Structures are given as C-alpha cells and as structure tokens.
Structure 1
Amino acid sequence: MPIALLALAIAAFGIGTTEFVMMGVLPQAAADFGVSIPSAGYLISGYALGVVVGAPLLTAAAVRLPRKTMLLGMMGLFTLGNVLFALSPNQEFGVAFRFLAGLPHGAFFGAGAVVASSLVEKGNRAKAVSMMFMGLTLANVVGVPLGTLLGQRVGWRATFLVVSLIGVVAMVAIAKLVPHQGRPENPSLRGELGAFRRPQVWLALAIVTFGLGGVFACLSYIAPMLTDIAGYSPGHVTVLLSLAGVGMTIGNYVGGRLADKRLMPSLYVSLLALAAVLGIFTITAQGKVGAAITIFFVGLAGFMIGPMMQARIMEKAGGTPSLVSAAVQSAFNIANSIGAYLGGLVIAGGLGLVAPNWVGALLAVFGLSIAVVSGGLDKREERQQLALA
C-alpha cells in the first residue's frame, strides 16, 4: 500500500478522536461551563450537525480545487475548530466551535476516499479506502480511551489541544506524503450533483443510513446496558468500548478486502451478520462474558459495512465521486441520530435497556432488504446490456 495512505490515516485518527472523545469528557466540560450533562450534550450534537451540513457544502465549494489542496484546507479548518473549542469561554461558544470542527469531517473523508482509491490499481481500491478509515477505527481503540483519561486527569481542554496537534501532524504528513493530484478532470458542480439522479446512489445512502443505524441503536446505550444489565462497574466500560473498537478495526480491514473481491455478496452477509449479532446481544447482555464477546462482534460486523459502502457509492457515482463520497459521511451521522433516537424511544416506552438491540437488528434487516433491491437492479442492468450486445 502507498505510504500516502498513512497520512490519510493519521488525519482520520484525529477526526475520529475528536468526534467520539467528547462523550468521555462530557462531565468535565459540563462542570467547567457550569451546565448540566444534558445541556452539555449539545457539544456532541453540534459536531454531528457540522458534519451533516459541511459534507455537501464544503465539497461543492471546493469542487474545482486540486484534491490535495482540498485535504490540507479541510485539516486546517479541523485544527482551527479544535483549538478554538479548547479555548471556549462558555457553552455557547463551545457548541459553535464544535460545529466548526465538524464542518470539514465529511468533506475530508469524501476527498480522501477518492485520493486513496486513485493511488492503487482498480482491484485494490476498497482496500486502500479501508486503510484510510483504519485511522478512524483505531481512534476508538487508542485515541478515545487515552483522550478520556487525559481529560479526567488534566482537563478536557488539554484533550482537544492534543487533538489539534494531531491535526497539525496530519497536515504535515499530507503535504509531504500525498502526491500532487492536479485539478479534477472537468470539474463541475452540476456534474457532481448529477450523480444524485442515479437511483443506485440513493439506495447506497439508504443502506448506510439504516444498516449502520442498527449499530448506533446499540452503541448509543451500551454504557447502561453494560452496567445495569451485564453487571460491569462504570470503570470497565472504557475497556469494553476499546474491545468494540478492536472489532471495528478488524471489521474495517476485512471489509475492505472483501469489497474488492465480491462486494454485494459480502455486503449481504455483513448486514445479515449484524442483524444476527444484535439479536443475540439481547440474550448475551445478561452476563459479563457473553456481553464482552458480543460487543466485539457488533463492532466487527458493523464496520465491515463501511468500506463496502464507500466503494459501492463511488462505483455508482461514475466519474463524479467527490460529492456522493462526502454524502456517505452525512448518511453515517444521520444513522447515528436515527439509531440513538429509536433506541431511546423503546427504552422510554418501558421495553428495557436491551430493547435498542432489537431495534438495531430490525434496522440492519431493513438495510439488507435495500441492499437486495440494489443488487437486483445490478442484475437487471446486466441482463439489459447482454440483450443489447
């Protein structure tokens, strides 16, 4: 694999850390700003909103820029947002700067996926994209636990200053290691938007939204599941989340390789496995050993889907992949919101803390049904092409 992928992985590590470490240092930030925990939760949703808004807007605004320039600009904005957040005088400024830090998230990954796939031969493109996203999954194994520990010992502001430093390192690495990309051929916002006229693009985004929504229905409420149902102490939750992160990392690695070989069959199996694991988790959550094993497989099955869908949507976008590639990140964060919302509904309805796993299983099955429809359209197009030949 090209050394340039290391630069993209470093950037992905920083982005993944800043997105998820906020959950670990939320109590410290709330106390510092003098607000309640629920109010401090806007620091999480502010970032997610920035991702959803920024992915299409910044990608569209930079459609004519060379992709290396785009990557450097996005990491510069990311670094600035995190520095400003670390210096926030109050909650209101904090939410605004978290929004700013989230804006370049989707645009970076959209451009990064295109760059990563351009560095290798066609048969290795999904693998190359998965190597970039390896940084994102490793953030859950290393960055989030260490960032949480730093925030607890030194203060949450120190955590985000370190994240800013990672952003600077990523910018240097991109400048040194990523080859000059040149301007995109025939750059056109109309052409990029034209990709959204393809039904297969919307089906791919729907698979991400609902299939990965199943993962977040579970993970959003994993802490109370592990403490109140499985019987773990709060101190063990971080370790178990790291175990889920290991599963995510392996899943991302395996998913990238399977996508290059047999994308759609591998996607069907991954979604089916995710639905099965989430269903099983409603039973295994009752014990410590079973819960620990199952949470690993939730991360494994769920994150096999990511590189497959990134490869799928770039394939279906044709020659205009940047905007739809960035849209995957918006769909990912919408999946996060939908999963968390529906999981919260069933808990509030009195169905218990393991009920979000059933919701997640149903969402994964729904995602699988959309994937089957998409695969059916592929076969119909192939038959039409053979008939015309």
Structure 2
Amino acid sequence: MPLPVLSLMLVVFGFTTGEFVIAGILPDVAADLSVSLPAAGLLVTAYALGMIVGGPVVTVLTARLARKPLVVGLIAVSLAGNLGSAVAPNYPVLLVARFVAGLVVATFFAVAIATAVSMAPADKQASTVAKVALGMNLGIILGTPIGTFIGHDFGWRATFAAVAALVGVALLLVLRFVPAQPAAATGPVLGELRVLARRDVQLAIGLTAVGNVGVVTVFSFITPLLTDVSGFGAGAVPVLLLVYGAGAVVGNFLGGWLADKALMPSLAGLLAALAGTLALCWLVGDLQAPAAVLTFVIGVLAFAIIPGMQTRVLAAAGSAPTLAVAVNAAGFQVAAAFAGWLGGQVIDSGLGLRSIYLVGALLTAAGLAVAGYLLRRDCVPADHS
C-alpha cells in the first residue's frame, strides 16, 4: 500500500474506532458519570449530530481550500474532540466533546477519497478507494474490540486517550507522506448545494437514513443486549465485537459485489434479510449460541447494504461527488442520532431491553419499503415518471 494512502487509511481507522467503540464501553461511561444507560446512549446521538451538521456545512465551506491543509485541519479538530472526551469532567462536557469529534468526519472521508483517487493510476482508482475504506472495516474488526478491552481494564477515559494517540500518529504520517494538492475545482456554493434539491438524491439519502436506523439502534446497545439479554460476561463482549467486525468485512465485499450485479434488487434483498435476522434475535436472543452466530450475521448484513447505498447516492449526484459522499455520510448519521435516542426511549417505556431487536427489525422493514419504492420507480418508463 502506498504510504500516502496508508496514512489516510490509518486516519479512517482512528475515526471509525472513535465512533464505534462507544458501543463497547457504554455501561462503563454510564456508571462512572452516574447517568442512566439511555442518557449514555445520547453520546452516540451527539457524535452523529456532529457528522450531520458537519457533513454538508464543513464540506461546502472548505471546498476551495487546498487539500493537504484541509485534511490536516480536519484531523486536528477530531483529535481535539477525542482528547476532550478523555478528560471530560462530566456528562455535558463529554456530550460536547463527542459532537466536536464527529463534526469533521464526513468531510474528511470525502476529501480523503478524492485525494487518494487523484494519486492513483486510472486503472487502480477503485482499488485505491477500497484501501482507504479498509480503515473503516479495521476500525470495527480491530479498533472497537481493542478499545473495549482498554476501557474494561484501564477505564473508559483510557479508550478515548488511545483513540486520540492513534489519530495523532496518523496525523504525523499525513504531514510526512501526503503530497500537497490544490483545491478541487468547484463552482459557486449555491451551485454545489443544488444537487441536494434533486429528487433522486433526496430519495437516495433517505434510503441510507431509514435503511440503517434499525441496525444502528441495535448496535448502539449491543453491549447490554449481549450481557443482560444473552447472558454473556463482560469479558466476552470484545470477542463478540470482533465477530461482528469480521462479519462487517465479509459484508463490505459481498455488498459491493452484489451492487455491481444488481443494485436495487440486491439492496432490497439484503434489507429483507437484515429485518428477518433482527426479528430472529428478538426470538432467540436469550440463547448464547444463536446470539453469537447472529452477531456475525448482523455484521455481514449491516455492512453489505452500505456499498449499494453509496453507489445510489453517487449515481444520483454525479455533478458533486465530494458533497454527495459527505451528505450521504451525514444521512447515515441521521440514523445513528435517532438510534441513540430511540433505544433509550424503548428501554424507558417498559418494553424491555430485548425489544430493541424487534424495533430494529420494524425500522429495517421501513427501509425495505423505501428500497421497494425506488426499485419500482426505476422500472417506470421515463415518460410515465
């Protein structure tokens, strides 16, 4: 892997670990800060809101900046957010720190992909994007369980300190190896934003948001689901997160292959399978062996739907690909923001922790309905649409 691409991939690895590791240490944070589990779930919402706000706003406002100073600045902001999370004296400060950490992530993903592609030969651009995106898979399969181990052994603050250290090392590599590049050619800000007014773009982003909210709700509370519902010990959680991450890697490749073959039919089929799997978890989630197997399956399906959703957005917004990538990332975080709040509401309602699986299945079915609408819409002749 070329060193500039490796540097960007390590940043993505750090960012992804910082985003997902909260799922492994949520009960520890809640206990230490003397807040309820639903309140701790709002830390997921705060990070997601940062990405939702930052995705389109930061991307548009920084579109004319040279890429390397922009990338360095974005990494520095996230580094500050993770350091702030590590030293936060109370729950409100931690909420703000998580928001700051998420504020620049969507823009970084978009600019990192554009930067990596610009350095790659024409016949290796797709594989270069995959190398940068590998950081996301590694953040889940390695970063999240390792961060959870650190949190359990040394305290949750040590987890965020480790993430900050990782991002700091990646920043040094970016400064050393990523070459200076001019800003991407772009039109007026209003012209860039017009892409968001397109019906196809709105529907594609809506599919990302609605299609992911169910499984993200489940993942946000995966630790208490595994310990309190399935009966696993706390020490088994990092291993099960590793299992989930292994499924995510498989799902990433599977979803890309299926999307190349038949984009919307495969997305509809994957969403149907995901809804069925979450419903099955609700039925047998108290049995450890099925719960372990289904954790892997959820990882596969949760990440198999992402390449197709990304492809749908890029196809709909071809004139502004950087903004499209950032806004689609924000669309995913709309799901995450809602998920952190919704899971808490489900627990507080008296339905019980286990019912999060059923709620996730129903929400995924709503995403399937959106995919079905788009599939039918694609089949309508242009003069009837």
Q: TM-score, normalised by structure 2?
A: 0.86
Match of 1:148 in 2: 148
Cα pair distance change 1:350/1:84, threshold 3 Å: closer
- Map 1:1-389 to 2 at 5 A: 4-26=4-26, 35-38=34-37, 43-116=43-116, 128-178=128-178, 180-380=180-380, 383=382
Give the letter for the 2:334 counterpart: I
SS in structure 2 of the partner of residue 65 of structure 1: coil
Task: Sort the Cα spacing of 1:343 and 1:99 in 2 relative to 1 into closer, same or farther, 3 A.
Answer: closer
Cα 1:220–1:167, aligned 2, differ >3 Å: closer, same or farther? closer
Q: Does the CA-based 8 Å contact 1:229-1:285 persist in structure 2?
A: yes
Distance 1:123 1:262, change over 3 A: farther
**Counterpart AA for 1:217:** T
Q: What is the DSSP-based 3-state SS (H/G/I as helix, E as strand, rest coil) of the residue aligned with 1:325? A: helix
Whole-Å Cα distance in 1 between the matches of residues 23 and 364 of structure 2? Answer: 25
Q: Is the 8 A contact 2:41 2:343 kept in 1?
A: no
Task: Look up the equivalent residue of 2:248 and give its one-letter code.
Answer: M
Identity, in percent, stands at 38
Deviation at 1:15, TM superposition (A): 0.7
> Quick one: which amino acid aligns to residue 194 of structure 1?
R
Check the 8 A contact 2:45/2:336 in 1, yes or no. Answer: no
Is 1:125–1:311's contact at 8 Å kept on the other side of the alignment?
no
How far does residue 350 in structure 1 lie from its aligned partner after superposition?
Answer: 4.7
Contact kept? 1:85, 1:98, Cα under 8 Å? yes
Q: 1:92 to 1:280 in 2, by over 3 A?
A: closer
Q: Using CA pairs below 8 Å that are at least 6 residues apart, which structure has the higher relative contact order?
A: 2
CA distance in 1, matches of 2:355, 2:123: 41
Contact 2:50 2:101 in 1 (8 A): yes
3-state DSSP of counterpart to 1:187: coil
Contact 1:126 1:257 in 2 (8 A): no
Find the residue that maps to 2:104 and give its secondary structure: helix
CA RMSD of aligned residues (A): 3.1
When normalised by structure 1's length, the TM-score is 0.85
Contact 2:111 2:322 in 1 (8 A): yes
State the 1:231 CA deviation: 2.9
Report SS of the residue matched to 1:246. Answer: helix
Q: Is the 8 A contact 2:204 2:312 kept in 1?
A: yes
Deviation sequence 1:130-171 (CA, Å, 0-9, x none): 443332232222212222322333344433232222212322
TM-superposed deviation, 1:336: 1.9
| Aligned residue identity for 2:146 | L
**Partners of 1:123 and 1:370 in 2: CA distance:** 34
Cα deviation code 1:12-45 (max 9, x no counterpart): 111111122234445655676x543555555444
Tell me whether 1-10 or 193-202 shows the greater mean CA deviation. 1-10
Distance 1:125 1:374 in 2: 28
Deviation at 1:50, TM superposition (A): 1.8
Residues 191-245 of structure 1, C-alpha deviations (whole Å, 9 max, x = no match) = 2211111111111111111111121232233334333433322332232122112
Query: Which letter does structure 2 place at the counterpart of 1:110?
Result: A
**Number of matched pairs:** 383
Indicate how the Cα distance of structure 1 residues 124 and 235 shifts in structure 2: closer, same or farther if over 3 A, else same: same
Moved more, 4-13 or 113-122: 113-122
Q: Which amino acid aligns with 1:153?
A: D
| Residues 29 and 357 of structure 1: CA distance in aligned 2, closer, same or farther (over 3 Å) | closer
Relative distance call for 1:2 and 1:314 in structure 2 (3 A) is farther
How far off is 1:56 after superposition?
Answer: 1.8
Tell me: CA distance 1:358–1:40, structure 2 relative to 1, closer, same or farther (3 Å).
Answer: closer
Q: Is the 8 A contact 2:44 2:340 kept in 1?
A: no
CA contact 1:342–1:359 (8 Å) conserved in 2? no
2-side partners of 1:175 and 1:290: how far apart?
Answer: 46
Structure 1 distance, partners of 2:105, 2:16, is: 9
Unaligned runs of 5+ in 2: none
Instruction: Provide the C-alpha distance between the structure 1 equivalents of 2:308 and 2:193, rounded to a whole number of angstroms.
Output: 22
Q: 1:230 to 1:31 in 2, by over 3 A?
A: closer
Spell out, residue by residue over 1:264-293, the C-alpha distance to the aligned partner (whole angstroms, 9 max, x if none). 333222212212222222233232111111
